[in-house]
């Protein structure tokens, strides 16, 4: 039995997953997460410890550690590092085996990934010029409209007459929101408009990355139902959201780690 | 691996490339009292004509992140590429003091307007604009371009109070033919053994030539060609890529290094194209200006700012990729570089139908952190390496 | 006419500023009261609250205010106002009142920054504003403070302690977060990061301001004028001294109120007057 | 109070009829293969040459702007971006390519695959890419007519010869493609018509020197530009501009202006924001500000300073027009000079520079232009940014704010008798040497 950990060192939260191949196929046996803070190495170690505790395994009992996320290179005890695009695609494909595209909408970055038949990354695009079209747009709107972030998605679903938001800057869009509010537009309609404008940008990225027929949505906004609906409306394809979307990249890293470990072991056995 | 001389040359070149004060140009002018230096922006300039007039051609490739833009932003607003702004900023902050003239050409709309903005703000400087023809297929074009080169030569002769003889031009052409032949050799060497010559080394060696006399540069290149085979090194598990799109604004040195760190062997690129845009030697017989003009029309390297509808650029890219046995193409495009972005559409179409994977990356010369780009390059490499 | 009081209400994207001014004859206009409220989602309400708070502060009923000029992004939402003017015109006017002799105004607001060139008689000669995105505006600073867990009042003084400012690549208000996070991860000191942030904004602002002729005296207006770190950073990049009034935050509202006083004056044959809701 | 203003009368209807007829002919060409059509750019177009073949010009910009003005440009732009065009590529191109992909036309009729894609390059490098893509995507033959940039004080003999030889090659190419013989007499007649239209058009433009100006030389000029480019070399064009001149002269005789009381006269540089054309115009109308001259109305040809096609040397006349007498092939400093003359000879109060992100030919360096007008000449200048085709780049509140502030300053100056000009032009920053 091989034990492998995947650790996703994100800018806000670090997530770890431990998998084992005891039953012939990789199974997740534990998960854990901690706030990242400024010490990335420590965050990775703590998240791993939490995942091991969750699995009921001892510290130091994993055979291989793969890291991903923004702090992936800052973890000295790693065996392998992959980007969150590679790991996200791998994790999403594991959870939805027929998925051909993955959208990862985080607070600052949106990534669109298309998958080849065997689940490899075929193409990808990220928003890199400015934060327009990233999740922070919603965070700002919620703050401005004085709504709990967790409620935003539900509220947007009740919109009757969504108002478009045309500004390309997440910050300047606020003045558009102000205009809508002052003009008496309902909060529902404004939020729905925001989701639609996010969905429009995400769709464009996805189309430029090569589209796909079945879409998995991961990242911070995946939990928000308004976002899911806006994407479905725009792309006309089914959108699935993993139950634990925070752990998708960590899972993907662990799976890639397991694969790498197997390759190494078989190479070693060939040599010996 | 023991080529101390070679390492010193690379370090020296890196220093010259990083230096914004044009110290090498000042030194050349001190050694040649009264002689002029002419800056050219940055591709398809007929350096031979400048050299034959007894002047030093100086390649202008922007200022990277070594100069804060404080004045140029007010002249060129949003949505304009960085090299246009850094070039103007260098001018407005006195960095071009050693230059007696500047030469621009038809490469793009922003560059052309830059020519005239500089002309207005620096009336004491000789600023000229060359029309490089877009219709190489017409019999009328050769005559036109020869005339345009003759016009330039005459302007320079007036400026320098000198005469460029046919003899002198032929001598110059021979020197530049040598320079380009040596660069071609180095490129071939790297494509064959990319672990022996890293891209940043080749890049700085080549770019340093922008600031020194061609005779000096030839010497450096010759040394490199002679000493490189003695180098040793272990090949890494990297993918072979062709880089396309950086023909004008140059990616930061750290970004070039990052490409290799992230697992790419660069087997061809279009960096510093201004030094090596003839694909073969310019003929030494006949009228030299005609030979130069005819070479621009018939043996100049393609790029997004040279148009020759007889030979589509997208086909040439695929051909090059296959010839060099590269696995992928990285389209490394400067932010706001409209010609490159237009070409991307046709490049993408052609690469996809040829089954060659590609990655589009956008850079800005003034950037100095590359987390996002690193992620993208790593992902791209991972997508080709893992199954 | 018995009215002595006039008001200026500056409805900005984050805060609404209202002032009451009085003209009691020979002494010239005098600032009587000011109020500051968060703009929030309801712009009309914010304007009204601000105005009434200023009246309370002045100790006068609203009816005694003879003329109200609105300015700022929300100026068309001020239902009780008599007319509106752009914040550019108002800032110029206010700055000359607060710092006589001002020839250049640099203003840093929540979503936009601007530079105004002013003639010897206080007239607007030329102006520029940022476009399209909020890069390098006051919001950039607020965001940076937020990410670092420092209050907006502290960032300025703290940044002055920075000895080795970090280089900030982005001017995007949202992306600056990740720049800061990675510097924190590298163990950089808070003061050095903040110093870098201030310098980034200062460079951006000055490069914008250079589009108009920058002539002394230069006044810094807007809420950010209270931030000593920003003042120093701007001075360093400009290579010049800035005039900062204690009332800098209210410059736009004061300018609006000064115009309101003029409108009340019957002898002033207004060329500018337009009905409300034009 | 006139918040909105638009000149509507006989020529408005005439213009509509003419343009509709043009689209009908294009539709006919698409259906039947005749008449032959030539895709060409408006800037420095050589429409006269086409008359020698009875061929109809196909201007992609006209289609693009029609879409934008009807608020329909975003969909095709997005379609093109899906194909790989970048956010920073010219939106005219994207809208045109997007329409091609989606089969959208401004009238709903069909547009033909052109008999020839004639890339009449006059200064705009983007056109080369545009036409290369159009030819590639449609499989149409392409001819690159390379016009040297106007980089010397006067047009050079070599430049004229080079263009004339290429015009003759174009003729040969069209003869081969259409199977028709080039009708030289008809060509010369077209050149003669052009000269007449140019004279009429120039006289119309000169009428804007009157106070009040009878029409807006930016917003209304666009109405007249369609016939100018499509029908310039035809009797129908001559007739149209005769009527137009008569109408304008009548207005002047009656003392009628664009506004009941014209308050400000401005010169506008740069293309308009077509997706918000109406809104943008109303922002000026609110201040009764009339554009008395504009550079945009000279993209197809600059005639108000005297150039006319010469029917005695038709090929050379066409070459000269392409080389030196349209704003896009003229260099930046020549454009400064053009605007300066407008301000002086058309008695304008100030200059409005409209930066459009799509068009670097127009916009790259407009900050320097602004510096020249405010600092060197002391003319109040307003700088605005948006786009000519992409609705996503028009920020209404910001634009209104700037326009209001600009006219508030001008108004204040008029009311108090202060002249808005720099009292002591500062030294150019260019001369400052740091180090």
CA distance C269 to C255: 19
Residues linked to residue A13 through DSSP beta bridges, in sequence order: A35
Is the pLDDT at D94 greater than 60? The verdict is yes
Report CA-CA distances (Å) from D57 to C198, D25, D47, D62, D226: 56, 10, 7, 11, 12
A38 interfaces chain C, CB cutoff of 8 Å: yes
Q: Which residues in C lie closer than 8 A to residue A108 (C-beta atoms)? A: 174-175, 177-178
Which candidate from A129, A166, A204 shows the least CB-CB separation from D81?
A204
A101-105 vs A110-115, strand pairing mode: antiparallel
Least confident of A233-237, B312-316, D300-304, D419-423: D419-423
D88 reaches B (C-beta below 8 A): yes
- Distance CA(D119)–CA(D28), nearest Å, equals 23
How confident is the model at residue C266, as a pLDDT?
Answer: 46
Q: CA D138, CA D141: separation in Å to the nearest integer?
A: 9
Bond preceding residue D212 cis, omega within 30 of 0: yes
Chain D's closest residue to A128, CA to CA, is: D87
The yes-or-no verdict on residue B340 having pLDDT over 80 is: yes
Task: Indicate yes or no: CB of D125 within 8 angstroms of CB of B109.
Answer: yes
User: Which of B305, B253, B249, B251 shows the shortest CA–CA distance to B277?
Assistant: B305
Among chain A residues, CA nearest to B79: A129
pLDDT in the model for residue C169: 67
Contacts of C129 (CB under 8 A, 6+ apart): C88, C112, C113, C114, C208, D398, D401, D402
pLDDT in tens, chain C (278 residues): 457 899 999 998 788 999 999 987 777 899 999 999 998 778 888 999 999 999 999 999 999 999 999 999 888 888 888 899 999 999 999 999 999 999 999 998 777 788 999 988 888 999 988 765 655 566 777 777 777 788 888 888 888 888 888 877 666 666 677 778 778 777 888 888 888 888 888 888 888 888 888 899 999 998 888 889 989 999 999 999 999 999 999 999 999 999 999 888 743 433 333 333 33
Question: Would you say residue A96 has pLDDT above 80?
Answer: yes
Q: Residue A16 and residue A33: Cα distance in Å, rounded?
A: 6
Alpha carbons A51 and C120: distance in angstroms, whole number: 70
- In whole angstroms, give the CA distance from residue D341 to residue D267: 10
Please report the pLDDT score of residue B365 as a whole number. 93
Are A87 and A258 within 8 A, CB to CB? no
Q: Does D276 touch chain A (CB under 8 A)?
A: no
Chosen from A130, A137, A167, A191 to mutate, greatest number of chain C CBs within 10 A: A130
A85–B375 CB contact, under 8 Å: yes
Write out the DSSP string of B108-162.
-HHHHHHHHHHHHH-TTSEEEEE---S-TTSHHHHHHHHHHHHHHHHHHHHHHT-
B93 touches chain D (CB under 8 A): yes
Q: Which residues pair with D150 in a beta bridge?
A: D330
Paired residues of D146 in beta bridges: D121
The percent of residues in chain D predicted with pLDDT above 70, rounded, is 94
Distance separating alpha carbons of residues B147 and B158, to the nearest angstrom: 16
**CA pseudo-torsion sign D315, D319, D321, D322:** positive
pTM for this predicted structure: 0.89
With cut-offs at 50, 70 and 90, classify the pLDDT of residue A128.
low
Pick from C66, C71, C21, C18: nearest CA to C46: C18
From residue A190, give the alpha-carbon distance in Å to each of A158, C75, D121, D358: 11, 21, 46, 30
Report the helix count and the strand count for chain D, using DSSP H and E: 16, 8
Contact D117, D131 (CB under 8 A): yes
Nearest chain D Cα distance for residue C126, angstroms: 7
What does the pLDDT read at residue D433?
Answer: 30
Alpha-carbon separation of residue A83 from A43, A73, A77, A123, B240 (angstroms): 18, 10, 17, 14, 20
**Which pLDDT belongs to residue B242?**
98
Give pLDDT tens digits for A176-204.
777 777 677 888 888 888 888 888 888 88
* Span B153-176, pLDDT tens digits: 999 999 999 999 999 999 999 999
Chain D nearest C-alpha distance from C255 (Å): 14
Q: Where are the alpha helices (DSSP H) in chain B?
A: 4-18, 23-31, 47-52, 82-92, 109-121, 139-160, 166-192, 199-208, 214-227, 253-261, 288-298, 313-323, 338-354, 371-385
3-state secondary structure of A104: strand
DSSP annotation of B278 reads B
CA A32 – CA A46 distance, rounded (Å): 9
Residue D422 and residue C213: Cβ atoms within 8 Å? yes
Residues B141-177: b if buried by 16+ CB within 10 A, e if exposed: bbbbbbbbbebbbebbbebbebebeeebbbebbebbb
DSSP string, A119-187: S-EEEEEE--S-STTSTHHHHHHHHHHT--HHHHHHHHHT-SSPPP---SSTTTHHHHHHHHHHTT--H
Give the model's pLDDT for residue D3: 46
Q: Which of chain D's residues have a Cβ under 8 Å away from the Cβ of C120?
A: 423
pLDDT number for residue D249: 96
Among candidates D174, D160, D137, which has minimal Cα distance to D54? D174
Q: Which of D85, D149, D433 has its CB closest to that of B345?
A: D85
Q: Tell me the chain D residues in contact with residue A204 when contact means C-beta distances shorter than 8 Å.
A: 78, 81-82
Produce one character per residue of A227-260: b if its CB has 16 or more CB atoms within 10 Å, e if not: bbbbbeebbeeebbbbeebbbbbbbbbbbbbbbb
Mean pLDDT along residues D264-284: 96
For B224-252, write each residue's pLDDT tens digit.
Answer: 999 998 998 888 889 999 999 999 999 99
Residues 6+ apart with CB under 8 A from D16: none
B375/A124 touch (CB, cutoff 8 Å), yes or no: no
What are the respective helix, strand and coil percentages of chain C, to the nearest 5?
A: 45, 20, 35
pLDDT tens string A26-72? 899 999 999 988 889 999 999 999 999 999 998 888 999 999 998 89
- The pair phi, psi for residue D309, each rounded to 5°, is -60, 140
Contact B382/A122, CB-based, under 8 Å? Answer: no
- CB B85, CB B72: distance < 8 Å: yes
Residue of D140, D66, D145 whose CA lies nearest to D106: D66
Using a pLDDT cut of 70, give the percent of chain B over it. 99
* A136-140, B335-339, C117-121, D96-100, range with the lowest pLDDT: A136-140
Helices (H), D208-276: 221-230, 235-254
Name which of D80, D146, D269 to mutate to probe chain B: the one with the most chain B Cβ atoms within 10 A of its Cβ: D146
Average the pLDDT over each of B89-98, B364-373, D261-270 and give the range with the smallest value.
B364-373
Residue of C nearest to B66 (CA): C167
Angle, vertex CA A196, rays to CA A192 and CA A200, nearest 5: 175
| D265 close to D346: Cβ distance less than 8 angstroms | yes
pLDDT > 90: percent of chain A: 42
Supply the DSSP string of D120-171, one letter for each residue.
EESS-HHHHHHHHHHHHHHT--EEEEE---B-SSS--HHHHHHHHHHHHHHH
Using DSSP's 3-state secondary structure scheme, residue C19 falls into strand
Give the phi and the psi of residue B117 in degrees, each rounded to 5: -65, -40
Q: Is D427 exposed, middle or buried (0-12, 13-18, 19+ CB in 10 A)?
A: exposed
Q: B376, A256: Cβ pair inside 8 Å?
A: no
**Contact at CB, C206 and B70, closer than 8 angstroms:** yes
Sign of CA dihedral D62, D66, D68, D73: negative
Q: Do B75 and D83 touch (CB under 8 A)?
A: no
For residue B355 the two structure tokens come to: 């089954």
pLDDT on residue B293 = 98
Give the residue among A253, A240, A246 at the shortest CA–CA distance from A90.
Answer: A253
Could you read off the pLDDT of B17-26 as tens digits, one per residue? 999 999 999 9
DSSP string, C249-271: GGHHHHHHHHHHHHHH-TTS--S
**Residues D108-118: pLDDT tens digits?**
889 999 999 99
Q: Nearest residue on chain B to C213, judged by CA atoms?
A: B74
Interchain proximity A38–C178, CB inside 8 Å = no
- The answer to whether C123 contacts D393, with C-beta atoms less than 8 Å apart, is no
Q: pLDDT-derived band of residue D408, with 50, 70 and 90 as boundaries?
A: very high
Cβ neighbours, 10 Å, residue D105: 18
Cβ neighbors of B361 (< 8 A, separation 6 or more) are B330, B331, B332, B333, B373, B376, B377
Cβ of B71 within 8 Å of Cβ of C210? The answer is yes
Which is more confident, B340 or A152?
B340
Distance from CA of C199 to the nearest CA of B (A): 11
Cα–Cα distance between D62 and D103 in angstroms, integer? 16
- Express each pLDDT in D180-204 by its tens digit: 999 999 999 999 999 999 999 999 9
Query: For the CA atoms of chain C, what is the radius of gyration?
Result: 19
Q: Mean pLDDT, chain D, as a whole number?
A: 91
How far is it, in rounded angstroms, from Cα C75 to Cα C68? 11
Q: Does the beta-carbon distance from D146 to B342 stay under 8 Å?
A: no
Q: Which of A145-154, B352-361, D408-417 has the lowest average pLDDT?
A: A145-154
DSSP β-bridge partners for residue A215:
A101, A239
- Helix B253-261 crosses helix B371-385 at what angle (to 10 degrees)? 30
């Amino acid at each position: 039995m091989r034990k492998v950990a995947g650790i996703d060192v994100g800018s806000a939260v670090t997530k770890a997953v431990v998998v084992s191949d005891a039953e012939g196929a990789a199974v997740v046996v534990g998960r854990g997460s901690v706030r990242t803070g400024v010490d990335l190495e420590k965050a990775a170690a703590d998240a791993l410890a939490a995942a091991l505790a969750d699995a009921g395994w001892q510290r130091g009992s994993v055979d291989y550690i793969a890291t991903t996320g923004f702090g992936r290179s800052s973890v000295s005890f790693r065996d392998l590092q992959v980007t969150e695009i590679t790991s996200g695609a791998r994790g999403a494909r594991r959870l939805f085996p027929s998925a051909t595209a993955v959208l990862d909408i985080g607070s600052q970055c949106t990534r669109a990934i298309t998958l080849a038949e065997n689940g490899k990354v075929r193409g990808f695009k990220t928003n890199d010029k400015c934060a327009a079209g990233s999740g922070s747009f919603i965070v700002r709107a919620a703050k401005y409209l004085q709504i709990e972030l967790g409620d935003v998605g539900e509220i947007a679903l009740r919109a009757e007459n969504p108002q478009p938001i045309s500004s390309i800057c997440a910050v300047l869009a606020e003045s558009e929101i102000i205009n809508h509010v002052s003009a008496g537009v309902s909060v529902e309609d404004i939020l729905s408009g925001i989701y639609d404008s996010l969905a429009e940008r995400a769709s464009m990225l996805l189309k430029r990355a090569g589209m796909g027929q079945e879409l998995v949505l991961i990242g911070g906004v995946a939990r928000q139902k308004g976002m899911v609906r806006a994407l479905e409306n725009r792309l006309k394809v089914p959108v699935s959201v993993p139950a634990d979307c925070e752990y998708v990249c960590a899972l993907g890293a662990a799976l890639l780690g397991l694969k790498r470990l197997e390759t190494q072991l078989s190479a070693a056995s060939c040599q010996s | 691996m023991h080529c101390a001389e070679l390492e010193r040359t690379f370090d020296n070149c890196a220093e010259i490339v990083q230096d914004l004060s044009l110290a090498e140009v000042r030194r050349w002018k001190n050694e040649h009292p009264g002689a002029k230096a002419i800056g050219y922006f940055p591709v398809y300039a007929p350096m031979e004509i400048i050299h034959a007039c007894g002047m030093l051609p100086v390649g202008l490739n922007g200022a990277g992140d070594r100069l804060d833009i404080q004045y140029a932003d007010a002249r060129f607003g949003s949505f304009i590429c960085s090299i246009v702004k850094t070039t103007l900023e260098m001018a407005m902050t006195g960095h071009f003091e050693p230059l007696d003239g500047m030469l621009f050409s038809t490469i793009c709309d922003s560059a052309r307007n830059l020519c005239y903005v500089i002309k207005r703000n620096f009336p004491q400087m000789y600023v000229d604009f060359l029309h490089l023809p877009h219709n190489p297929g017409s019999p009328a074009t050769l005559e036109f371009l020869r005339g345009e080169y003759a016009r330039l030569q005459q302007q320079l002769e007036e400026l320098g109070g000198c005469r460029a003889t046919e003899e002198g031009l032929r001598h110059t052409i021979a020197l530049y033919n040598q320079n380009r032949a040596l660069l071609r050799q180095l490129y071939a060497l790297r494509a064959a053994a990319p672990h022996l010559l890293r891209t940043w080394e080749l890049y700085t060696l080549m770019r340093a030539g922008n600031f020194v006399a061609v005779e000096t540069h030839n010497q450096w290149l010759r040394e490199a060609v002679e000493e490189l085979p003695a180098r040793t090194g272990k090949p890494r598990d990297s993918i072979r890529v062709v880089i396309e799109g950086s023909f004008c604004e140059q990616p930061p040195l750290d970004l070039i290094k990052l490409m290799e760190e992230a697992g790419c062997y660069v087997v061809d690129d279009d960096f510093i194209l201004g030094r090596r845009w003839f694909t073969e030697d310019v003929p030494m017989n006949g009228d030299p200006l005609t030979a130069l003009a005819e070479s621009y029309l018939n043996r100049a390297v393609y790029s997004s700012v040279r148009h020759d509808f007889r030979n589509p650029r997208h086909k040439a890219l695929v051909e090059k990729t296959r010839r060099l046995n590269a696995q992928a193409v990285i389209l490394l495009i400067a932010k706001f570089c409209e010609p490159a972005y237009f070409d991307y559409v046709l490049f993408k179409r052609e690469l996809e139908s040829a089954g060659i994977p590609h990655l589009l990356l956008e850079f800005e010369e003034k950037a100095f952190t590359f987390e996002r780009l690193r992620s993208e390059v790593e992902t791209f490499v991972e997508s080709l390496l893992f199954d | 006419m018995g009215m002595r009081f006039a008001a200026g209400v500056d409805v900005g994207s984050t805060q609404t500023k209202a002032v009451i001014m009085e003209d009691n004859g020979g002494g010239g206009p005098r600032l009587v009261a000011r109020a500051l409220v968060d703009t929030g989602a309801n712009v009309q309400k914010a304007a009204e609250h601000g105005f009434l708070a200023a009246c309370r502060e002045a100790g006068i009923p609203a009816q005694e205010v003879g003329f109200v000029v609105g300015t700022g992004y929300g100026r068309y939402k001020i239902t009780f106002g008599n007319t509106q003017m752009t914040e550019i015109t108002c800032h110029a006017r206010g700055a000359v009142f607060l710092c006589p002799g001002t020839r250049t105004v640099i203003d840093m607001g929540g979503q936009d920054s601007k530079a105004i060139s002013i003639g010897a008689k206080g007239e607007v000669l030329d102006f520029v504003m940022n476009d399209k995105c909020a890069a390098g505006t006051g919001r950039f600073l607020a965001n940076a403070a937020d990410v670092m867990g420092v209050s907006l009042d502290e960032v300025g003084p703290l940044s002055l302690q920075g000895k080795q400012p970090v280089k900030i690549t982005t001017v995007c208000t949202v992306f600056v977060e990740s720049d800061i996070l990675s510097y924190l991860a590298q163990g950089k000191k808070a003061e050095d990061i903040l110093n870098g942030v201030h310098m980034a904004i200062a460079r951006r602002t000055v490069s914008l301001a250079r589009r108009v002729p920058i002539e002394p005296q230069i006044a810094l207006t807007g809420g950010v004028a209270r931030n000593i770190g920003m003042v120093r950073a701007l001075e360093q990049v400009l290579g010049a001294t800035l005039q900062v009034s204690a009332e800098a935050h209210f410059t736009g509202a004061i300018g609006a109120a000064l115009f309101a006083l003029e409108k009340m004056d019957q002898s002033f044959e207004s060329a500018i007057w337009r009905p409300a809701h034009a | 109070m006139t918040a909105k203003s638009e000149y509507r009368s006989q020529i408005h209807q005439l213009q509509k009829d003419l343009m509709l007829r043009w689209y009908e002919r294009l539709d006919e060409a698409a259906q039947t293969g005749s008449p032959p059509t030539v895709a060409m750019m408006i800037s420095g177009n050589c429409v006269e040459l086409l008359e020698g073949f009875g061929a109809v010009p196909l201007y992609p910009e006209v289609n693009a702007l029609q879409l934008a003005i009807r608020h329909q440009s975003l969909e095709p732009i997005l379609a093109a971006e899906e194909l790989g065009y970048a956010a920073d590529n010219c939106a005219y191109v994207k809208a045109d390519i997007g329409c091609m992909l989606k089969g959208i036309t401004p009238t709903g009729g069909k547009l033909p695959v052109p008999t020839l894609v004639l890339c009449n390059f006059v200064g705009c490098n983007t056109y080369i890419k545009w036409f290369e893509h159009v030819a590639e995507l449609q499989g149409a033959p392409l001819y690159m007519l390379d016009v040297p940039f106007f980089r010397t004080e006067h047009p050079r003999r070599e430049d004229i010869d080079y263009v004339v030889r290429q015009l003759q090659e174009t003729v040969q190419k069209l003869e081969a493609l259409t199977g028709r013989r080039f009708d030289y007499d008809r060509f010369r007649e077209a050149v003669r018509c052009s000269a007449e239209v140019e004279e009429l058009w120039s006289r119309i433009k000169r009428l804007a020197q009157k106070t009040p100006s009878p029409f807006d030389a930016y917003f209304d000029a666009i109405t007249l530009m369609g016939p100018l480019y499509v029908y310039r070399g035809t009797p129908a064009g001559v007739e149209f501009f005769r009527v137009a001149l008569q109408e304008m002269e009548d207005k002047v005789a009656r003392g009628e202006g664009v506004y009941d009381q014209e308050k400000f006269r401005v010169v506008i540089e740069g293309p308009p924001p077509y997706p918000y054309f109406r809104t943008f115009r109303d922002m000026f109308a609110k201040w009764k500000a009339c554009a008395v001259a504009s550079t945009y109305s000279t993209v197809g040809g600059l005639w108000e300073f005297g150039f006319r096609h010469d029917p005695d040397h038709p090929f050379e006349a066409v070459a000269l027009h392409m080389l030196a007498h349209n704003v896009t092939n003229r260099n930046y400093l020549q454009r400064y000079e053009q605007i300066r003359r407008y301000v002086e000879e058309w008695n304008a109060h100030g200059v409005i520079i409209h930066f459009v992100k799509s068009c670097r030919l127009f916009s790259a360096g407009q900050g320097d232009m602004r510096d020249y007008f405010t600092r060197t000449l002391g003319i109040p200048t307003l700088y605005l940014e948006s786009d000519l085709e992409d609705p996503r780049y028009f920020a209404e509140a910001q634009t209104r704010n700037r326009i209001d502030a600009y006219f508030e300053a001008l108004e204040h100056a008029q009311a108090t008798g202060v002249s808005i000009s720099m009292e002591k032009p500062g030294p150019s920053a260019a001369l400052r040497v740091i180090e």
